[in-house]
Structure 1
Amino acid sequence: MSTRPGPQAVPQPELSDRALGWLRFAWDKATTPDDWSDQGEPHPWWDRYGSPPMCVFPRFDLSEMAYTLPMLMESTPAWREAYTRIADELIWRFVSFWGGIDWNTLIGPDPNVDRYSPEWLCCAPEPLRGAYPLPGWTGNGVEPWGLQPDPVGADGNLFYRAWLNLTLGIRRYVAGEATEHDTFQVTGYRNRQFPWTHDRVARHLSNQLATRPQGPHCENTKIWPTCVTAAGLGLQLYDSLRGTDLHAPFPAWAEYARTHYMGLKPDGDLDWFAFYYDPVEDKVATLHEPYNALIFLHVLLPQEPAWATQLYELCTRAIGFSDRRHPVVHLAKDPRMIVTALVLARELGDTTTEARLRDEVEEHFQPRFFGEHDDRFGYWFGLDEPWPRGQLNAILAMADAAPPGAWSRVFDQPQTDVHAEPTLRDVDFPRVAIRQARNDMTARTLDVVTAVSRPEPQATTAVTVDRLPAPSLATVELDDRPHTAWRVTGSDAIEVDLPVDHCRLRVWF
């Protein structure tokens, strides 16, 4: 029996086996040492193969892997140390030579501009095909900017600093540490080092948005709605955490984009959507069909929910994702369209489309557990590769990580109170995983559910609970029975012995 009357049982989200499997693999990738300097090369499980020619750089795997971290917090707001460690490992790679390798090595005009494969030429405005650098050629040094050694401070290269700022914001959120004024070094052209802080990156982005109504450039000289929207999302998170107003220029850009970067048919259907816009050539690149709008809506949704929902409904209706009368169509070899649409359907509560796309994912994208103990999880996409393809898995993990609406809540309603509440630390992860960890500040309890891949009946492990108001007055229960194997270890902390097994821990404080 419980030693104290318990609170009313309210179902709370907890991490599924798939979410824990993804988290364990993310931990493996993040914490396994590799060399991202100009003398080394990232481990091959970092995805620089997906969505050519645009996304063939490993930093996209870094930034997209970060998306799930604050979503996982919905189930474990009182346990965040693994998410912080992963975010730290992502960020040092992001600011390395390989993090900005395109800006640091793809200098000047593309020497292969007239040798692109026919299937890639659709990525260029039709009048310029064969004489125009495709997405993926960053072009540091071309006009109007000239050579700019700093990947963050440059006029172009938005797709680097936009996602760097967003990843820094995610780290700031999951850790709850005021690091926005701490200096870090960014590796630029010819290995020059440039000092930046999170605050300076955010203010630089905000200033660029304010002074460029069309949007800042990514590759010189392309303006991508996707990248501008990612810049806005990082600023929205920064404002939510710091009480600033750096996101203020974004709504004006969104209004400009609705007017200039999309068109509707007379019947209201989507006619076209800008892949990117080149203000020097004054050309808009569009794909044959406007469905490409889907691929950035997850970063637009928390900022402009009405516009994002409109585009989502137009795209899914046009593709037929939401139409039960027809099978789901795979539009291209790259599964990113279906992957992103599933994430959006779940986030928006579109259960019909979610169910249809989930069936496709289960049937065609090869979900499976893997690793020595079959406790890592990923989707293999029929690619016959030794590891799950990173970028696609990072986005798809968002659909397994948390309940509907969790992604938007990260930016609209961040759980900043948890940073001052009792917190679980020193967990021997991934040997012991945490399926749920949350405080009830009314009942004054911390409830924890553990999960292990291999129970070790004779083994024990120790965890710390800190930020307790009076550690010596705590009461501890294990699987609803009084538990005495704990001790006070600090002015606000206790250490608790637990079996290396599935168990439920409750700490009354």
Structure 2
Amino acid sequence: MSQTNSRSRRNFLKGAAVVGGAASLGACTSPPSSVNSSPSAIARYESSPSFYPKHNERTKGWMRFIWQKATTADDWGYSEDIERPWGINLPRGEIDWTEDGKGPHPWWDQYTGAPMLSYPRFDLADSSYGIMLMADQTPAWREVYTRIMDELATRHTSYWAAIDWNTFMGPSPDRENYGPLNAPGYQAWPEHVRGNYDSPGWTANGVEPWGLQADPIGADGNLFFRGWLNLILSIYKYVSGDDKWEQPWQIAGYENEHFEWTQPKIVEHLHRQYIKHPEGPHCENTKIWPYCNSAAGLGMYLSDQLGVTNSHGVFENWVEFLRENYMGINDQNQIEWMTLYYDPLADFKVNVPGASAGGAGTAFYLMPQSPEIATQIYDALAHASGWRDPAREIQPNALGMVMAKALGDHSAVDRLSAAAERYSGPKWFGEDMDKFGWWFNYGEPWPRGQGSAQQMISEIAEGNWIDAFKVKHLDKYTAPTLEGVDYPSLGVDTAWNDKDSGVFNIGTYVADRNTAGQPTSWQITKLPDAAKAIVICDGATITNVQVVNANTIRVPTDIGQHQYQIYTGYFGEEVAMAKPVPMTVASASSAALTRRTAEQNAKAAESVMASGATGCPCCAGAA
């Protein structure tokens, strides 16, 4: 051990509030008679002081529910008698909330954004964003987030995840029934296509010029399947550090035919498509959506940030195409219109005034990867919607609030947060009132998955949508790690390696009030020298810690609220990610091969906001 590390260990011992004579487990256990079983005392503790990132009560309650959703088995597999999904039907009728074991559990959101987004895979994607940000708050404890992400990813490779591509074959049988009330963008359809054209949401697998494409990933279309799948798999990689999805796995396609893929191969397929189609791949045959392309680009970006691929440069060409073809920007640099979707075969675009045509979603996905244009869209939305205007009453906008928080637009954050509290139905629920979600006053049995997950991103106290994609915690995979926690009985709200002091800080809480006070244990792995570890719990040194091996200790404790300081001797190490060889870019410009760092992106966004170049009157005079 170095002299510096020796001094740090001595300082840790001298500075610890060691209770005289307390050298046993007793300091971190509570006798059964002392356990207060009331929900307020067990299920939701008030926050205790912490100098490190710490989950708040709502965040812990939401994770309790998403854990239940993710780990409860349901059937996303193939069946010959699968009924057409609710969201594509005309008329749609009432939602059937019956849980009969057939198909995805009804708590997976299959209802929001019909007919385009009313499929449970979009709940999987939206839920993954909060998990990513939560994992960044406790980088030294990852096992529960990894399990949740793996369950989400596994569902997204099932037959039901691509239910639209696998079952909406040929032209829609409802073509003659479409109109302004059930076909988004209908008002902009040319007269000659009305009555002979498919509504958004109808994937039309099998139509010419592509014919039947049984593979939902390998198809020319269906970007809104593989783009989000790649994003989920990339988030899994960052959360866990595991290469599971980089190894071959099977995707279920038309009539349950299976196809072999890996996450890097998805990126390769996307890369080829963006070279061949600068306008972007399409989702349904034959509609190209800027919203979906933005999400696909973010998955490519994160994969590159993690060193798995090197592909995002070609997507930056699409961003320029977006600016020049899917946005109308006047001489004052103001957004006059944005394209909702474009059909290159029918040769028309659905343009909507301002930035309201999917602008929030497009900007949300572009913000970490292309912040200048995302900030311009955000600013237009903020101005048009009155997010900064105290004289206007505003409606909630979950993605708008995520972006406002990431950009430091505190006025918008405060007003959007107040609107969400007023209109979006935040509520605790469950038998023990230990789960939290956003209900939107729908009167449904469970929180709406997509909207609730989007709203939760802003609830993660120190979470920041832009910062999350800077992948700051790549050293977590080799740093001391908390493992073997008995979740969902015992929860962890703090898990942070302080690399300046060599101390691992852990906070635990009762996640299931019915198990409070029960004995349990957990392990710290990847220690530099397990024999030299010192464990202090609630100010008292624990001496009955078991040394499992040279790098692992087991700590006996109970299911309760405790604060631990563990001297580990870990002072950090930098992780240099080796970049793959850039993918072949046949005709792309050299600019497309340049991948800016996340830090450069963030500075670019700040310059846009500071300059007032977005044309927003609120920012124009700030220079």
- Alpha-carbon contact 2:354-2:380 (below 8 Å) kept: no
**Does structure 1 residue 439 correspond to structure 2 residue 504?**
no
Aligned equivalents of 1:191, 1:180: Cα separation in 2: 20
Partner AA of 1:407 in structure 2: W
**Does structure 1 residue 29 correspond to structure 2 residue 69?**
yes
Aligned equivalents of 1:202, 1:156: Cα separation in 2: 15
The match for 1:316 among 364, 382, 386 is 382
Which residue does 1:81 correspond to in 2?
143
Cα deviations by residue, 1:414-442 (Å, 9 ceiling, x for unpaired): 41111110001111111111111010123
Which stretch shows the higher mean deviation, 413-422 or 454-463? 454-463
SS of 1:451's equivalent in the other structure is strand
Cα deviations by residue, 1:460-506 (Å, 9 ceiling, x for unpaired): 21111101111121110101210123201233211111221111112
Which residue does 2:582 correspond to in 1?
none
Which residue does 1:116 correspond to in 2?
178
Which stretch shows the higher mean deviation, 112-121 or 368-377? 112-121
Partner AA of 1:499 in structure 2: D
Aligned equivalents of 1:115, 1:417: Cα separation in 2: 56
SS of 2:246's equivalent in the other structure is coil
**Does structure 1 residue 162 correspond to structure 2 residue 190?**
no
Cα deviations by residue, 1:357-409 (Å, 9 ceiling, x for unpaired): 111110111101111221110011010001000011111111112425x2212
- Alpha-carbon contact 1:21-1:377 (below 8 Å) kept: yes
**Does structure 1 residue 230 correspond to structure 2 residue 289?**
no
Deviation at 1:5, TM superposition (A): 3.2
From the superposition, tell whether residues 389 and 243 of structure 1 become closer, same or farther in structure 2 (CA, over 3 Å).
closer
The match for 2:373 among 307, 329, 336 is 307
Aligned equivalents of 2:231, 2:516: Cα separation in 1: 42
Cα deviations by residue, 1:75-102 (Å, 9 ceiling, x for unpaired): 2000011111011111111111101100
- Alpha-carbon contact 1:161-1:201 (below 8 Å) kept: yes
Partner AA of 1:359 in structure 2: A
Aligned equivalents of 1:147, 1:506: Cα separation in 2: 59
Spell out the pairing of 1:132-147 with structure 2 (5 A cutoff): 132-147=197-212
**Does structure 1 residue 52 correspond to structure 2 residue 114?**
yes
Deviation at 1:121, TM superposition (A): 3.3
**Does structure 1 residue 3 correspond to structure 2 residue 13?**
yes
Spell out the pairing of 1:337-486 with structure 2 (5 A cutoff): 338-403=397-462, 406-453=464-511, 454=513, 458-486=517-545
Deviation at 1:71, TM superposition (A): 0.6
Return the TM-score normalized by structure 2.
0.77
Aligned equivalents of 2:181, 2:403: Cα separation in 1: 28
Aligned equivalents of 1:123, 1:82: Cα separation in 2: 42
SS of 2:466's equivalent in the other structure is helix
Spell out the pairing of 1:96-111 with structure 2 (5 A cutoff): 96-111=158-173
Ranges in structure 2 where 5+ consecutive residues have no aligned partner: 1-10, 18-48, 80-101, 569-623
Deviation at 1:458, TM superposition (A): 4.1
From the superposition, tell whether residues 479 and 243 of structure 1 become closer, same or farther in structure 2 (CA, over 3 Å).
same
- Alpha-carbon contact 1:74-1:402 (below 8 Å) kept: no
Which residue does 1:251 correspond to in 2?
316
Aligned equivalents of 2:168, 2:159: Cα separation in 1: 13
Ranges in structure 1 where 5+ consecutive residues have no aligned partner: none
Aligned equivalents of 2:546, 2:385: Cα separation in 1: 59
**Does structure 1 residue 489 correspond to structure 2 residue 552?**
no
Which stretch shows the higher mean deviation, 73-82 or 252-261? 73-82
Deviation at 1:180, TM superposition (A): 4.7
SS of 2:445's equivalent in the other structure is coil
Deviation at 1:11, TM superposition (A): 2.9
SS of 2:508's equivalent in the other structure is strand
Aligned equivalents of 2:51, 2:429: Cα separation in 1: 30
Deviation at 1:264, TM superposition (A): 2.6
Deviation at 1:354, TM superposition (A): 0.8
Which residue does 2:577 correspond to in 1?
none
Partner AA of 1:191 in structure 2: N
Cα deviations by residue, 1:145-195 (Å, 9 ceiling, x for unpaired): 111000010110011110111100011111112335311110000100001
SS of 1:360's equivalent in the other structure is helix
- Alpha-carbon contact 2:426-2:437 (below 8 Å) kept: yes
Aligned equivalents of 1:425, 1:23: Cα separation in 2: 18
SS of 1:119's equivalent in the other structure is coil
Aligned equivalents of 1:497, 1:10: Cα separation in 2: 23
* Equivalent pairs, count: 500
**Does structure 1 residue 126 correspond to structure 2 residue 189?**
yes
- Alpha-carbon contact 2:336-2:353 (below 8 Å) kept: no
- Alpha-carbon contact 2:168-2:203 (below 8 Å) kept: yes
- Alpha-carbon contact 1:424-1:465 (below 8 Å) kept: yes
- Alpha-carbon contact 2:536-2:566 (below 8 Å) kept: yes
Partner AA of 2:477 in structure 1: H
The match for 2:217 among 142, 152, 165 is 152
Cα deviations by residue, 1:263-310 (Å, 9 ceiling, x for unpaired): 134554321111111111111113465313112211110011111111
Rg comparison, structure with higher value: 2
SS of 1:248's equivalent in the other structure is helix
Which residue does 1:188 correspond to in 2?
253
Deviation at 1:257, TM superposition (A): 0.6
From the superposition, tell whether residues 200 and 439 of structure 1 become closer, same or farther in structure 2 (CA, over 3 Å).
same
Spell out the pairing of 1:169-318 with structure 2 (5 A cutoff): 169-242=234-307, 244-265=309-330, 267-287=332-352, 290-292=355-357, 293-318=359-384
Aligned equivalents of 1:148, 1:241: Cα separation in 2: 31
RMSD of aligned Cα (Å):
1.9
From the superposition, tell whether residues 456 and 98 of structure 1 become closer, same or farther in structure 2 (CA, over 3 Å).
closer
Aligned equivalents of 2:442, 2:489: Cα separation in 1: 29
- Alpha-carbon contact 1:71-1:402 (below 8 Å) kept: no
